[in-house]
Amino acid sequence: MGTETSQNAILCVDDEAIILITLQKELKKQLGNLFQYETALNAEEAMEVIDDLVSAGVNVILILSDWLMPGIKGDEFLILVHQKYPQIRSILITGHVDAAAVDRVKKEAGTYTVIPKPWDVNKLMEAVRVCCNLN
């Protein structure tokens, strides 16, 4: 197969494609080929991606998710993921913070932190490194 892909993945979920591209580029720049970088435009698509990766033997380490998305919001999505795959860590990235959603996602999904948009790259990467045990 020539190209070696990591057996560990980070999934970015946001309904804005430009944000996904930016996140993916930043992660690749900072972490190189340590991970596969996957993206999804909504919670339903993200769940399919996770299921596909897991059934292919890929370890989904971390999800970076937006909160305000059409359909299922980020906190509900991360709680669903946590119920099915409790080992996956998560970070919520959002421009709109609902305090109740923040409390809920931390308690019910074990979300590591909530990072405001526009994000501070250093803060974001610090949280990613903690979640991926790279510190």
pLDDT at 97: 74
pLDDT per position as a tens digit, 20-34: 999 999 999 999 999
pLDDT at 3 over 70: no
Q: What is the SS3 assignment for 11-28?
A: EEECCCHHHHHHHHHHHH
Q: Pick from 39, 37, 40, 2: which is nearest to 132 by CA?
A: 37
The DSSP bridge pattern shows strands 36-40 and 89-94 to be unpaired
pLDDT per position as a tens digit, 74-84: 999 999 999 99
CATH of the structural domain 8-131, one choice from 3.90.45.10, 3.40.50.720, 3.40.50.2300, 3.30.530.20 = 3.40.50.2300
pLDDT at 37 over 50: yes
Q: Write phi, then psi, for 25 (nearest 5 degrees).
A: -60, -45
Please provide the average confidence, as pLDDT, over all residues in the chain. 94
pLDDT at 6: 73
